[in-house]
Structure 1
Amino acid sequence: MSVPVALRVDEAQALLAQLATRSAITAHEEVPLHAALQRVLAHDLVSPFSVPPHDNSAMDGYAFSGTALQGPDAEVRLQVVGTALAGTAWHQPVRDGQAVRIMTGAKMPPGLDTVVALEQCRIDGDAVRFDARVLRPGDNRRLAGEDLRQGEPALRRGDRLGPAALGLAGSLGSARLAVFRRLRVAYFSTGDELLSLGDAPREGAIYDSNRHTVCALLRGLGCEVIDLGLVRDDPASLEATLQQAADQADAIITSGGVSVGDADHTRAVMQRLGEMAFWRIAMRPGRPMAVGSIAHGDPGRAPAALFGLPGNPVATMVSFLAFVRPALLRMMGGNEAAAAAPPLLRARSASAIAKKPGRTEYQRAWVQPRPGDLPNARLAGNQGSGVLSSMVKANGLVVLHHDQGDVAAGDEVDVMMFEGVL
């Protein structure tokens, strides 16, 4: 895999999209509708009927023929001949000059095409009066099939199923859905300087945070996480753990050990076990990244994809969001929409930010709405790649693009919000 010395972020994303598409899983299963949240649909869901199945009222009011609005009088008076309730059908004929009291969602009686809202009416004995000038024929009527038409796909293969999609499937009577099986992802951290929870503190050592952030990110995606814990900087241990991960998982994520330090054995072990490229990406935080695959003993299975992330906590998280998350969504069977990067919103920077063209920078920020203007993006403290506390204080990342220079206070910037991705 031949790549430039330092990849632009967009170049790295494009390469990962190609690799992930080739590694997409194909096996699928049927699950109950309530268990399908954040799963990826394996087949198109075709609507067995139109939604709504009939014209119905968009509000509580009175249904009548819109021809009543074409008379010379500004006020319309109609005789009320009954009530149409939601869930029941009105079959009696309704003549000119008559109306039917109707509830929201009730089927429109035959020959009637317009609804006047209850609050626009005055009751006059067994009649209703309203101003004809507030309506046009056809107002406040939902048409049959305006949501979905019978025989058309309601949801597409590769759609990631959120709450709205599950509601739509439920409206079609779908008790079970065919979804791709969960992607199995193995994760471990590397480094002799790391402590696991429960270990006694020691001089020069730190507790491992990446294991918990990455595993949480994976669970948020709906992956089946294989937590392999902490692996020391020992070639034999690294090789055994990588091979174990390849045997059990579709994808492997590691953090640490992909730079050029003397103790970073991960590079050599990865190259020995599989096909591997080591990238330097023109970004901050984060720079080194390993991408490739490791084979296993089952010839019927594709090799496990491997993503070796930098070890600094914020660099690990940013690299995951920028590169690994969309790649995993493609491997899960997600289509272009499902695997797309989170949309970037526009905001105004609350302060000046020094930036040299030639790399993409991700700055932690707290973004707040402002009436009548773009949201305000204020940097959330120390931006060092090892400072996880400022990630906690932030609700998004200011994205300063590759060719962008210094930002002045008040300038517009792009922001990747954490809502929906963390």
Structure 2
Amino acid sequence: MTAPGTRAEAPDGDTDDLDVEEALALVREGHRENRDDGTDDGAGQLPAPSPQPSGERPAERHRATPWTRAREIAARAARSHGPQSAGGTPAGTRRVPVSVDLADALGLVLAAPLDALTDLPSFDTSAMDGWAVAGPGPWQVRDEGVLAGHAQPEPLTDGEAVRIATGARVPADTTAVLRTEHGRTDAQGRLHTTREMLHGQDIRPRGQECRTGDQLLPVGTLVTPAVLGLAAAAGYDTVTAVPRPRVEVLVLGDELLTTGLPHDGLIRDALGPMLPPWLRALGADVVAVRRLGDDARALRKAVAASQADLIVTTGGTAAGPVDHVHPTLERLGAELLVDGVKVRPGHPMLLARTKDHQHLVGLPGNPLAAVSGLLTLGEPLLRTLAARPAPEPYALPLREAVPGHPYDTRLIPVVLRGDHAVPLHYNGPAMLRGIAAADGLAVVPPGGARQGEEAELLDLPWAAAGIGVCFT
């Protein structure tokens, strides 16, 4: 492992990006410290750098938040204003629970217990295809059979049997169900069993799974396909759930193209297509995606007018001439909760409270840096808003050594191979080639990690649940 305080060798393609991010952070920090002192060098002029005390590294003067602490702040931010639930709604959510059709409830969290509306099963049913029999054999078989979904059949008398299908109502006075493979008929048409049969065999009695009023699932349960099936079986058409957090995405940057090849200094917008489905995979309802360019007035108007629970901006979080996010938040009186995080990529991310019950996550413009910001600040906040449980942390040994930043955490795309995590190349802030092939992100501490050393892993939603589950 590289010792803290020394720069490990960065993978090809990373070094320049890391230095640029550090420089932007230092420029912004110097500008902030100057403003805090009440001084001004003149319109449009950056302040002169303050003398640096002997032995003090520039990175040590940052007010950036440690990565773990930033995630904790984001998770708690949604709870810090408004009434807390006093029962019924899961702790952490402030929005009114909603009644949701079963077809639309996948991925939500129950805001009310799922209590049985009926006995399950609601009548005695056959667990197998075969014959319902009464008394000891042999049995005389009725001509008509009993099928699932039909009305109550006529009662049986001793020595009588009737053909029955799985799930069909069992006739009154039935002793047991004889499976098809365990019965035979003789020349007179009488039914015989080929093995010992027990009283009540292969009959599912009424209320075997639950009785009316039994609690099937508690508040806070994540609605999975199996939960939907149980709710339907128990008689529900809708469930009461925590609504999905509403998210509005504001894509910033005059240099972005939505079609065609990059040209003349213009580049394709990767975040516009990537962020909405990723946010949906995290449980959000993406209500709008707006492309604002580098227009400070349009940004201020969009943030002020938004009714979303969370606003996500892309780019504009540093201190460049067209980085308008900080000035906009200041003009709107927003409260900065996280202003820079000690993580690479993605150092200039931010989290702000723009009004009661609304937050803004400012993502860096570089694509992988934006992913880092989304998983650092966006995921914990959305999880709290949606009342989802936090994932259980886990770690795996790294197949290869990973260089570290001297002071900051690094998030590195990895694939899982057996009981190891394999770091992927193409992990610079502007790159997506690594994350596109990844199963998760390894959390690499300052200084790096040795081969075989365990690293905490952040799962990607589609790797954990499958694309068909997390995007529907």
Same fold, TM exceeding 0.5? yes
Aligned length: 384
Partner residue of 2:123? 54
Instruction: State the alpha-carbon separation in 2 of the partners of residues 257 and 33 from structure 1.
Output: 40
Report the structure number with the largest CA radius of gyration: 2
Aligned residue among 342, 347, 354 for 2:402: 354
Q: Deviations over 1:180-200 (max 9, x none)?
A: 5553322113345x3132599
SS of match in other structure, 1:306: strand
One-letter amino acid matched to 2:289: D
Matched, 1:89 2:138: no
Instruction: State the alpha-carbon separation in 1 of the partners of residues 429 and 206 from structure 2.
Output: 55
Matched, 1:319 2:373: yes
Normalised by the length of structure 2, the TM-score is 0.66
Query: Any residues of structure 2 matched to 1:109-120 within 5 Å, and which?
Result: 109-110=171-172, 112=174, 114-120=176-182
One-letter amino acid matched to 2:336: M
Aligned residue among 58, 75, 79 for 1:17: 75
SS of match in other structure, 1:217: helix
SS of match in other structure, 1:364: strand
Matched, 1:406 2:467: no
Is the CA contact 1:80–1:128 (under 8 Å) kept in the aligned structure 2?
Answer: no
How far 1:86 moved relative to its partner? 2.0
Is the CA contact 2:70–2:338 (under 8 Å) kept in the aligned structure 1?
Answer: no
Instruction: State the alpha-carbon separation in 1 of the partners of residues 412 and 203 from structure 2.
Output: 49
Normalised by the length of structure 1, the TM-score is 0.73
Query: Any residues of structure 2 matched to 1:10-409 within 5 Å, and which?
Result: 11-22=69-80, 24-63=93-132, 78-79=138-139, 81-82=141-142, 83-87=145-149, 88-95=151-158, 100-110=162-172, 112=174, 114-124=176-186, 125-132=189-196, 140-154=202-216, 156-179=218-241, 183-192=245-254, 194-197=255-258, 201-220=262-281, 221-232=283-294, 235-245=296-306, 248-259=307-318, 264-273=323-332, 274-295=334-355, 302-331=356-385, 334-335=386-387, 339-341=388-390, 351-354=399-402, 361-367=410-416, 374=418, 378-394=422-438, 396-400=439-443, 402=445, 405-408=449-452
Unaligned residue ranges in structure 1 (runs of 5+): 69-76, 296-301, 369-373
SS of match in other structure, 1:34: helix
Q: Kindly indicate whether structure 1 or structure 2 has the higher relative contact order, using CA contacts under 8 Å at least 6 residues apart.
A: 2
Is the CA contact 1:28–1:180 (under 8 Å) kept in the aligned structure 2?
Answer: yes
Instruction: State the alpha-carbon separation in 2 of the partners of residues 400 and 190 from structure 1.
Output: 28
Instruction: State the alpha-carbon separation in 2 of the partners of residues 142 and 283 from structure 1.
Output: 57
Is the CA contact 1:184–1:226 (under 8 Å) kept in the aligned structure 2?
Answer: no
Is the CA contact 2:177–2:200 (under 8 Å) kept in the aligned structure 1?
Answer: yes
Instruction: State the alpha-carbon separation in 1 of the partners of residues 432 and 63 from structure 2.
Output: 30
Distance 1:201 1:355, change over 3 A: closer
SS of match in other structure, 2:362: strand
One-letter amino acid matched to 2:257: S
Is the CA contact 1:61–1:103 (under 8 Å) kept in the aligned structure 2?
Answer: yes
Q: Deviations over 1:112-140 (max 9, x none)?
A: 575454334444442232333xx776654
SS of match in other structure, 1:399: strand
Distance 1:104 1:226, change over 3 A: same
Partner residue of 1:371? none
**What is the RMSD computed on CA atoms of the aligned residues?**
4.0
SS of match in other structure, 1:406: coil
SS of match in other structure, 1:165: helix
Instruction: State the alpha-carbon separation in 2 of the partners of residues 398 and 122 from structure 1.
Output: 61
Identity of aligned residues (%): 27
One-letter amino acid matched to 2:316: G
Is the CA contact 2:361–2:377 (under 8 Å) kept in the aligned structure 1?
Answer: no
